[in-house]
Chain A
Amino acid sequence: MIRMKGIIISGAIILAIGAVLIFGGRWARGHVNYMTAAEDHPRTCWSCHIYTQRDNFIAKLMNETYVSPYKLDISQDGSTLFIVGQESNELVVVNTETAKVVEKIPVGLKPHTVTLSPDGKSAYVSNQWADNIFRINLENSKVEDTLVGGAGPAGMAISADGKNLWCVNSYSNNISIFDLGNMQERRRLKAGNNPVSIAMTPDGREVYVSSRRSVDVPHMTHPLTEITVASTKSQRISDRKMFQDAYIMETVDVTPSGDLVIATLIRPKNLLPTVQIERGWMMTQGLGIIERESGRMVQLLLDEPNAFYADPFGLVITPDGKRAFVSHGAVDKVTAIDLDALRKVLAEAPDEELEDYANDLGLSSRFVIGRIPTGSNPKGMVLSPDGKLLYVAERLNDQIAVINTESLETIKTIGLEGPKRRTVARHGRQVLNNAKGTFQGQYACYTCHPDVHEDGLVYNMAASDMGRNLANVQSLRDIGDIPPYKWNGKNQTIYKQDGMRFSTILTRNEAFTYKDLDALVAYIITDNPNPPNLRFNPDGELTAKQQRGKEIFYRTHDTYGNEIPVENRCYTCHPPPYFTNKEMTDVGTLADSDDPMKFDVPQLNNIYESGPYLHDGKAPTLEEIWTEFNDHDEHGVANDMMKDQLNDLVEYLKSLRDAKYYMDEAQAYEASLSKKNK
C-alpha cells in the first residue's frame, strides 16, 4: 500500500515536471520567439531578465566601472602620460618608462580632453557632463581652479605663452576663451554644430575647430559640417569652412609647417536610397584638408574599394611633419599616412575634380603606408615628443597601446588597472562600437549613433522602394522601457530591431550571433543615460518661461477657453516620465513620400539636443514643428497661441531631461488618469 502510494506520488511528480517542461518549454519558446523575432534564439532567461537589470543589486553585481581611456596628453619630456578615464571620471597618470599607473586623480563627470599647460605644471581637464574645466596642479595632483564657460566643454588648446585657453563647448556650439591670468571667460565665439576638437597653428595665430554635426540645411540637401577658423589675436571668427557631405569631424590638427589643416571625417550617403552597401554606398571615411595658403578644401578617403575603416577618431602628426596617424574606433586599427605622398595627391588634384577625389576609394593606396591593428575601440592618441612612439587609448580594453612609428608595430600595451572581467554590457558596448557586424566594416552602430545618441541626419531608408519613407535617426539613450521601436513601430523589442531584418536591410552582413545580440541589447538598455541637461535645466527648478511652458504643455483649454479634445493634448501622447505613451499615432505629418502609416510617439527626454525633428527630420527646430507643420492642429492645438506662448512651450520642452527626474510626476499623472476613469 505504502509502496503503491509512493509509486503514484512519484509518478505524479514526474508527470508534473514533464508537463512543466513541455508546456512551459513551449510557452518559453513562444515568448522568446516573440521577444527576439527569431525562432532559434536560445531560451536563456537571463539574457533578458538578468543582463538588462538596472540600478539594483543584480545590476551592481553584473556590472563594473571601467576606465575607458578617451583622450590623452604627454609631458614634454615624454616620461608621463595623462589619460582621461571617461567612464571612471579620472585623470590617469602613467609612467611611460615603467608602463605603470602612477596615480588616478578624480575629475568631473564624463571628462573629455586633457591638455597640459606649456610650462608642464598644470593639466586642464574638460568635464563634458559637468560644464566645467579643472586645472590640476601636477605637483600636488590637486584641482586648484575650476573654469566655467559654455556647455559640454570638450577639446582645448592653450596659447604658447600660457595666457589664454581656448575650449570648445560641444553642447552650446561655441568656443570659450579664458584668460588664464584670472581664470575667467573673456568671450564666447559661435562655432559649428556640436564642435569637439581644436588645434592651434604652430605660429599661434589661428585656431581651427572641427565639429561633428551638420549645420541646419534645407531638408534632404547636402550635410555641411563646419571647421571654424578664429584669429587668436583678435579673438574673432575669421572664417567658417563648410565641408559638404561630411560630418563627425572628430579631431583636427595642423601640420608643423602650418601648410595643412587636417581633420578626420565621415562621408554619409544619407540622401541616397540605402539599397546596397558595396563600394561605399552607405558610408565612407577619410580626411578633410584645408590648404592654408589657398584656402582650398579637399576631402580624401582612407577607405578602399573592398575595405572600410569606420569611425576615424584620433589624428596626430609627427613633429617632422612626415607622417600622420588616424585611429579608427570601429575597426580597431590605426592608419599610417605618408604626408608627402598626400601632398602630392593634393597638388595633382584639379579643382573641378575635387568631388570625384572625395569619393575615390582607390586614392588611399597612394598615401596610406600601413594599417596597424589595435585593441578594442582605439580613440585618442598622442606622440612622444620625438615622434618615435605613438600612444593609443584603447577605450574598450582599458589600456594604452604603444606603437613604434617607424616599424608600425605595437611594441607593448599599458594596462590602466581597470576591471579584469568583461561584463555583458561591456561586451555589448564593444559590439555597438565595432563595424565587424557590417559588410566590409563600412560602419558601426556608433557611426549613426555617436555616443549612443543620433547623428542628426535623415536617411533614405526605404524598405521596398527607393526615395520613400525618409527617416530621422533616433537616439538610443534610455530606450529600454519605451517600445515599440522604429518610426513605424514595427519592432516590439530591441532584439528585433537589431536582428535579422536589420542585417538584411542595413548591415547586409551576417546577423549578430545571439551572444553578441544579447550583449548589445544589454548595453543599450542598461548603460546609456541621457547627459545632464545643464544648459536648460541644471537642477530641476524651472525658470518662469519654462514654468509657463509647462502649463501650456498640460493645458486642457486653448487661449480662447475652448476645451481641447483629450486626444489632442500634449500630455496625452507625451506623458512623463519618458514623454511618450508608446503608441502609434497620426499627427498630420505624413509626407507624400511616406507609405500610409502611423508613427510611434517618440520620447522627449533631452529633446533639445535631438534636432532635426519629426519622423523625417523636416523640422530643423522645435518651433517649426508647429509654425510650419501643424496647419490643422493635428499635432496638438497650437495655432491659437501667441508667439510668446509658443516660445514658452519650446523652453519647457528644452528643459526636459532624463526620465528618472519625472517618476513622481508620472505617478501623479497615472493617478489623475485613473481618477478620471473612475
Chain B
Amino acid sequence: MNRSGKWLNVIRVAVYAGLASVICLSCSSNKFEGKIVVVELQGDNLSSLDGARLLMLDPEKVGKPATALLSDFESSASPSLSHEGRYLYFQGKQNEGDPWQIWVMDLKKGNVTQVSDLPENCTQPSSLPDGNVVFSREGQVKGKEVQNLWKCMMDGCCLTQLTHNPAVNLYSSVLWEGRILYSSQQVYPEVRKTQLMIMRPDGAKSELYTAGCCGTIPVSGGLDSPDGYIYFISSDGQLSRVLHRRPLHTFEVLSRDLGGSFASVTPTADSSCLVSYLPVDGNNYGLYRFDPRKKETPVALFPGEKNLVDPLLIARVDPRPKILPSPVDPAITTALLMTQNINHSMLPVNEGITGDSLADRIRISTLDGELAIVEAKDDGSVYMKLDADTPYFFETLNRQGEVVRGPSDWIYLRPKERRACTGCHANQELAPRNFQPHAVLEDPVVLATKVKKQAIN
C-alpha cells in the first residue's frame, strides 16, 4: 500500500472512532427525563420513613406499574433534583440501624454515591445551583433535639453549618432567586410554632418568610412555582400558598373547600402542581395533579396502593436558580449587627411595664444566659460586634431595667456577615428609614468572646 493509502486508512479509522464515541455518548443520556420520582411509604404514618422507597413513574403511561429506583437501600426518601436535571439527591439508609445519610444518584450514568458520612441522621437534601447540597442534620442543644441545616459538596467536602438556632430546621428548598426556604420550629427555651424562614445560601440574613395565618401554620417546606407562588402544606393537611412577592400577608389556603387531605406538593413548569393527596373516600395518599387556577378536586395520576408522597418531576430547571455571592469568610470569627432604632417595633410594650415605655438599652443573651447590656444612642441605634455562628436573643430595656419588648427569636450571624435591622421585631414589610444611625459613627461595641485568628483585610 502506498503512503497516501495508509494516510487514508488512518483518517477513516479516526472518523469511525469519532462517530462511535458520539453515538455512545448520546446513548447515555438521561433516561429519566420527564418521569416522576415519588416516595412510597410502608405504613400509614406519614412521618415514618422506615422502609420507604423511591419509585419512578411514567406520567405518559399511567397504568404502567412504578419502578423501584434503588435496590441497595433499606429505606430511601426525600428526593431532590439538581437544576440541570441530572443528579437526584435523597436520604437513604442501606441497613436498618444506619443513620440516614445523604446520597446522590447520577441519572445519566446510573451510579449512586454517598454524600454525607456523619454520625447523626442527615435528611431532606436540596440541591444548590453551585453544586452544594443542603440538608438537615440532627443535633442536641441544651438537652433538646435540634436539627440544623448544613451544606456540602457532592463529594462530601466543605461541610458547613448554615443555621445555628436551637430549632428543628427542615424542608429546605432553593428558590429561583437563589435563597433557601426552610421550615423552622424553635425548641429552646420553649417550643414555638413552626414558621417558614428564608436565608441566603451561606446561611446569612435569615428572616421570617411566613408564619401562616388565621390559625393555620406551614408544616412542610415551600417550593417555587412559575406563577410566582410558593406552595406548601399547612396544618390539617391543607394545601396552601403565599405570593413570593409578599409572603407575609398573602397566605391562602387553596384546599379549604375540597375535602380530603394533602401530604406534599410540587409545582411544575406549567404552573400546576403534583400533589400527594388523600381523597375524601380514599384509603391512602396517591399522586394527583392539581390546578391552583381552577381549585377543583385533584385529578388522579397514580392512586397507588400505599401512601405516595414527595413527588418530583425529573426535568431541567431553566433558568436555573441564581448563584448568590457570599461575603462569609470562615477565617473571621465575628460578625457585625446594627439596629436603627430599638424602639421601632410592631410588638406592643410588654404588659406590666411601670417605667418608661421607650427602651434605651438592649440586653443580649446567649444559650448560656445574659451576655451584656448595651446602651442605645440617642436615636435608638446600636452597633455591635458579635461572635459568628452563635445564637443570641435580644430584649429591650428601659431606664428602670424593665423589659420593654422581648425576648426576640434567636438570631445568629455568619462569619464576617454584616447585618442591619430597622428595629426590634419591626414590621418586616417596612423598608428602612434613610438616616445614618449614630451608633455607626463610632466603633461597634465588642461583645465577641471567641479568640481566634482574624483575617486581615
Binding site for B on A (CB under 8 A): 220, 222-223, 245, 267-273, 275-276, 278-281, 284, 301, 303-307, 355-356, 359-362, 365, 439-440, 460, 463-467, 500, 503-505, 508-511, 593
What class of interface size applies to chain B in its complex with A? 35 or more
Chain B 425-447 near chain A by CB (<8 Å), digits 1 or 0 = 00111111111110011001000
Indicate if the CB atoms of B249 and A362 lie closer than 8 Å.
Answer: yes
Q: A360-B430, A466-B440 are in contact. List 9 more A-B contacts (CB 8 A).
A: A222-B434, A267-B434, A268-B434, A280-B432, A306-B245, A360-B429, A503-B325, A504-B325, A509-B324
Residue numbers in A under 8 Å from B433 (CB-CB): 245, 355, 359
Q: In the bound complex, what is the Cα–Cα distance between A360 and B205 (angstroms)?
A: 20
Which chain A residue shows the least CB distance to B441? Answer: A467
Residue numbers in A under 8 Å from B383 (CB-CB): 466-467
Set A276, A284, A440: member contacting B420, Cβ < 8 A: A276
Quick check: is B295 within 8 A (CB to CB) of the other chain? no
Indicate if the CB atoms of A272 and B432 lie closer than 8 Å.
Answer: yes
Quick check: is B406 within 8 A (CB to CB) of the other chain? no
Residue numbers in A under 8 Å from B247 (CB-CB): 305-306
Indicate if the CB atoms of B420 and A508 lie closer than 8 Å.
Answer: no
Residue numbers in A under 8 Å from B250 (CB-CB): 365
Q: In the bound complex, what is the Cα–Cα distance between A211 and B444 (angstroms)?
A: 38
Chain B 401-423 near chain A by CB (<8 Å), digits 1 or 0 = 00000000000000010111000
Given contacts A272-B420, A365-B246, A466-B420, contact A281 B325 (CB under 8 A): no
For the complex of A and B, the 9 pairs showing the least CB-CB separation, nearest first, are: A467-B440, A280-B431, A362-B429, A275-B418, A504-B325, A307-B245, A304-B245, A359-B431, A245-B434
Given contacts A467-B440, A504-B326, contact A273 B420 (CB under 8 A): yes
Interface residues of B in 183-213 (CB under 8 A from A): 205, 207
Quick check: is B45 within 8 A (CB to CB) of the other chain? no
Indicate if the CB atoms of A356 and B440 lie closer than 8 Å.
Answer: no
Q: In the bound complex, what is the Cα–Cα distance between A151 and B249 (angstroms)?
A: 48
Which chain A residue shows the least CB distance to B248? Answer: A305
Chain B interface, >50% SS class: loop
State how many angstroms separate the Cβ of B229 from the closest Cβ of chain A. 12
Q: In the bound complex, what is the Cα–Cα distance between A504 and B327 (angstroms)?
A: 6
State how many angstroms separate the Cβ of B327 from the closest Cβ of chain A. 5
Which chain B residue shows the least CB distance to A307? Answer: B245
Indicate if the CB atoms of A465 and B205 lie closer than 8 Å.
Answer: no
Set B245, B249, B338, B431: member contacting A284, Cβ < 8 A: B431
State how many angstroms separate the Cβ of B25 from the closest Cβ of chain A. 24
Given contacts A273-B418, A275-B338, A361-B431, contact A464 B325 (CB under 8 A): no
Which chain B residue shows the least CB distance to A507? Answer: B325
Set A222, A304, A440: member contacting B177, Cβ < 8 A: A440
Residue numbers in A under 8 Å from B248 (CB-CB): 305, 362
Given contacts A466-B383, A467-B440, A593-B441, contact A362 B246 (CB under 8 A): yes
Indicate if the CB atoms of A271 and B436 lie closer than 8 Å.
Answer: yes
Quick check: is B457 within 8 A (CB to CB) of the other chain? yes
Set A222, A281, A284, A356: member contacting B435, Cβ < 8 A: A222
Indicate if the CB atoms of B245 and A278 lie closer than 8 Å.
Answer: no
Quick check: is B12 within 8 A (CB to CB) of the other chain? no
State how many angstroms separate the Cβ of B199 from the closest Cβ of chain A. 10
Q: In the bound complex, what is the Cα–Cα distance between A306 and B224 (angstroms)?
A: 13
Which chain B residue shows the least CB distance to A440? Answer: B177
Q: In the bound complex, what is the Cα–Cα distance between A443 and B235 (angstroms)?
A: 38
Q: In the bound complex, what is the Cα–Cα distance between A270 and B437 (angstroms)?
A: 12
Can you list 15 A-B contacts (CB < 8 A)?
Answer: A222-B435, A245-B433, A273-B338, A276-B419, A276-B420, A279-B428, A305-B428, A306-B246, A360-B427, A361-B429, A365-B246, A467-B437, A509-B322, A510-B325, A593-B441
Residue numbers in A under 8 Å from B249 (CB-CB): 362, 365
Quick check: is B349 within 8 A (CB to CB) of the other chain? no
Q: In the bound complex, what is the Cα–Cα distance between A194 and B322 (angstroms)?
A: 37
Quick check: is B316 within 8 A (CB to CB) of the other chain? no
Set A281, A505, A510: member contacting B431, Cβ < 8 A: A281
Indicate if the CB atoms of A361 and B205 lie closer than 8 Å.
Answer: no
Chain A interface, >50% SS class: loop
Indicate if the CB atoms of B436 and A281 lie closer than 8 Å.
Answer: no
Which chain A residue shows the least CB distance to B435? Answer: A271
Set A220, A301, A359, A504: member contacting B432, Cβ < 8 A: A359
Residue numbers in B under 8 Å from A504 (CB-CB): 325-327
Quick check: is B260 within 8 A (CB to CB) of the other chain? no
Set B207, B244, B420: member contacting A275, Cβ < 8 A: B420
Indicate if the CB atoms of B431 and A272 lie closer than 8 Å.
Answer: no
Quick check: is B336 within 8 A (CB to CB) of the other chain? yes
Quick check: is B36 within 8 A (CB to CB) of the other chain? no
State how many angstroms separate the Cβ of A1 from the closest Cβ of chain B. 18
With most chain A CB atoms within 10 A of its CB, the pick from B322, B325, B336, B428 is B325
State how many angstroms separate the Cβ of B245 from the closest Cβ of chain A. 4
Interface residues of B in 122-181 (CB under 8 A from A): 177-178
Indicate if the CB atoms of B430 and A276 lie closer than 8 Å.
Answer: no
Quick check: is B69 within 8 A (CB to CB) of the other chain? no
With most chain A CB atoms within 10 A of its CB, the pick from B205, B326, B427, B429 is B429
Indicate if the CB atoms of A463 and B457 lie closer than 8 Å.
Answer: yes
Quick check: is B105 within 8 A (CB to CB) of the other chain? no
Which chain B residue shows the least CB distance to A502? Answer: B325
With most chain B CB atoms within 10 A of its CB, the pick from A267, A272, A365, A504 is A272
Set A305, A355, A509: member contacting B429, Cβ < 8 A: A305
State how many angstroms separate the Cβ of A358 from the closest Cβ of chain B. 9
Q: In the bound complex, what is the Cα–Cα distance between A460 and B441 (angstroms)?
A: 11
Quick check: is B358 within 8 A (CB to CB) of the other chain? no
Chain B 367-408 near chain A by CB (<8 Å), digits 1 or 0 = 000000000000000010000000000000000000000000
Indicate if the CB atoms of A508 and B324 lie closer than 8 Å.
Answer: yes
Indicate if the CB atoms of A278 and B432 lie closer than 8 Å.
Answer: no
Residue numbers in B under 8 Å from A303 (CB-CB): 431
Residue numbers in B under 8 Å from A245 (CB-CB): 433-434
Residue numbers in A under 8 Å from B428 (CB-CB): 279, 305
Residue numbers in A under 8 Å from B429 (CB-CB): 279, 305, 360-362
Quick check: is B254 within 8 A (CB to CB) of the other chain? no
Q: In the bound complex, what is the Cα–Cα distance between A440 and B247 (angstroms)?
A: 14
State how many angstroms separate the Cβ of A364 from the closest Cβ of chain B. 9
Indicate if the CB atoms of A270 and B434 lie closer than 8 Å.
Answer: yes
Which chain B residue shows the least CB distance to A365? Answer: B246
Residue numbers in A under 8 Å from B418 (CB-CB): 273, 275-276, 464-466
Quick check: is B323 within 8 A (CB to CB) of the other chain? yes
Interface residues of B in 302-358 (CB under 8 A from A): 322-327, 336, 338, 340
